[in-house]
């Protein structure tokens, strides 16, 4: 395996320096992760690496690698390659820094590369509006966080979160929560996301769903020692439960395949703030697992959407029919993605869903009814697109041409899930 790795590196360096850089960092980081199995915590003056950081950075490397690998046949420009590298650096500091100001700076800087990718590679004229909405939501709701940082520094004398113990007031907690909820995102602050997904190129959507939406969760996790969620718990929990069901209803009425995937991404990410406000050990595990495996399933689905669109020339479900006839292998990939998205056994994401349901039940018994409707409606719209695309009749006898990158996206979730199984056993 090592011989193969080092024999491929010179070829990658010649053909794509960006891909070479990401793969090299991935190899180094994975080696560090394996060697640190029994001692996850590591911190310096500006870095804090725990089990949470390790796996999110690992997820970032892999998602960016496969996303950029997906884009290679389309000959991305050097500025697009640079944008991927800049995004990699920003995500690394958000997930691994021990300084709140550096976390905030990296969190905001991550906007620049993804906006450039949407504007440069977006295929629809609305891409400028999508970029503006992303910038506006983040800027308006993130700017007050500077005041929160000054407030923390005035009381603690430091912004290193591992060396300070301080609880924010109700108002400050709300400001901090809203800052990171934009990129989580929660319903009501998510309107930029479906538009950004639809207007972004396929590899941009893969990065957006697999990496960028994890920045909000990481920010909330790092701020959890400062935030007093008890006062917000009941109100936010009720709000999130209602819109968890509502977001799945929105998915059921969509006819555009990419919009279905985008809105389903929003509905599944709503499980994260629900787990966060519960504030229990079991809900924390659900938070980690759902966030990680959402970063696996969503890029897989967006890569499939892009591949299907390149063949059919449309994303409308009424026109996507009979894939089983023209490509049984790709139909198998689609069924695999369906099972993974539904968090069915034996996929590890099933464990996160179970933890989420149990922890929600302990808050209130009535949450069971909302979660039942959420699971039922999720099954409805997922079965709808699967039956329409794969099992419907198809009159043409043409063959389905799948590029070489589809083979890699088939095993994309498997590669990502294996290290997380080690983490589950460690927990």
Domain of residue 393, residue span: 229-427
Q: How far is CA 143 from CA 99, 105, 113, 118, 138, in A?
A: 18, 11, 19, 23, 8
Cβ atoms of 88 and 61 within 8 Å: the answer is yes
CA distance to 220, 250, 268, 291, per residue, from 263 (Å)? 22, 7, 9, 16
C-beta separation of 289 from 348 below 8 A: yes
In a domain, 82, yes or no: no
> Which element (helix H / strand E) includes 65?
helix 51-71
User: Could you tell me if 336 and 303 are in contact, meaning their C-beta atoms sit under 8 angstroms apart?
Assistant: no
Q: Which of 173, 208, 171, 376 is nearest to 305 (CA)?
A: 208
At 16, is the secondary structure helix, strand, or coil? coil
> Among residues 369, 112, 381, 135, which one has the least CA distance to residue 241?
369
Residue 365 lies in a domain: yes
Residue 298 lies in a domain: yes
pTM greater than the 0.95 cutoff: no
In a domain, 296, yes or no: yes
Has residue 241 been placed in a domain? yes
| 393 in a structural domain | yes
Domains held by the chain: number: 1
Other Cβ atoms closer than 10 A to 30: 15
Residue 426 counted as domain residue: yes
What are the pLDDT tens digits along the chain (427 aa)?
433 443 444 444 445 555 555 555 555 555 555 545 545 566 666 777 777 787 788 788 778 877 877 777 777 777 777 788 788 888 888 888 888 888 888 888 888 888 887 777 766 666 777 778 888 888 888 888 888 888 888 887 777 776 666 778 888 888 888 888 888 777 777 777 777 777 777 888 888 888 888 888 888 888 887 887 777 787 888 888 888 888 888 888 888 888 888 888 888 888 888 888 887 778 888 888 888 888 888 888 888 888 888 777 788 887 777 777 777 777 888 888 888 888 777 777 788 888 888 888 887 788 888 888 888 888 888 888 888 888 877 655 445 555 545 545 545 555 555 555 555 444 5
At residue 13, the pLDDT reads: 42
Residue 408: burial class (beta carbons within 10 Å; 0-12, 13-18, 19+): middle
- Residue 339 in any domain: the answer is yes
pLDDT at 4: 41
């Amino acid at each position: 395996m090592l011989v193969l790795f080092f024999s491929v590196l010179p070829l990658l360096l010649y053909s794509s320096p960006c891909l070479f850089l990401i793969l090299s960092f991935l190899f180094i980081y994975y080696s560090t992760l394996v060697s640190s199995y029994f001692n996850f915590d590591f911190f310096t003056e500006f870095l804090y690496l725990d089990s949470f950081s390790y796996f999110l950075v690992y997820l970032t490397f892999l998602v960016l690698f496969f996303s950029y690998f997906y884009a290679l046949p389309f000959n991305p420009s050097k500025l697009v390659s640079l944008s991927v590298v800049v995004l990699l650096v920003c995500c690394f500091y958000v997930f691994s820094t021990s300084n709140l100001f550096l976390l905030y700076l990296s969190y905001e800087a991550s906007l620049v590369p993804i906006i450039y990718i949407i504007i440069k590679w977006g295929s629809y004229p609305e891409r400028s509006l999508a970029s503006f909405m992303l910038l506006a939501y983040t800027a308006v709701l993130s700017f007050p966080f500077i005041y929160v940082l000054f407030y923390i520094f005035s009381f603690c004398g430091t912004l290193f979160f591992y060396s300070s113990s301080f609880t924010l007031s109700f108002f400050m907690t709300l400001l901090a929560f809203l800052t990171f909820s934009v990129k989580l995102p929660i319903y009501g602050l998510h309107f930029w996301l479906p538009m950004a997904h639809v207007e972004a190129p396929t590899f941009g959507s893969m990065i957006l769903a697999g990496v960028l939406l994890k920045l909000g969760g990481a920010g909330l996790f790092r701020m959890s020692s400062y935030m007093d969620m008890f006062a917000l718990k009941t109100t936010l929990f009720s709000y999130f439960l209602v819109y968890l069901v509502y977001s799945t209803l929105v998915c059921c009425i969509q006819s555009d395949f990419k919009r279905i995937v985008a809105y389903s991404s929003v509905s599944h990410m709503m499980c994260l703030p629900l787990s966060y406000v519960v504030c229990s050990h079991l809900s924390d595990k659900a938070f980690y697992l759902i966030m990680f495996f959402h970063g696996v399933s969503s890029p897989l689905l967006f890569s499939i959407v892009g591949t299907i669109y390149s063949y059919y020339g449309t994303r409308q479900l009424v026109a996507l029919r009979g894939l089983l006839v023209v490509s049984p292998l790709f139909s198998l990939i689609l069924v695999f993605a369906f099972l993974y998205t539904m968090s069915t056994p034996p996929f590890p994401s099933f464990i996160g869903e179970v933890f989420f349901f149990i922890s929600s039940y302990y808050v209130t018994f009535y949450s069971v009814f909302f979660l039942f409707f959420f699971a039922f409606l999720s099954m409805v719209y997922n079965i709808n697109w699967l039956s329409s695309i794969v099992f419907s009749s198809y009159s043409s006898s043409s063959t389905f041409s799948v590029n070489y990158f589809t083979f890699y996206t088939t095993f994309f979730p498997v590669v990502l899930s294996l290290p997380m199984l080690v983490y589950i056993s460690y927990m």
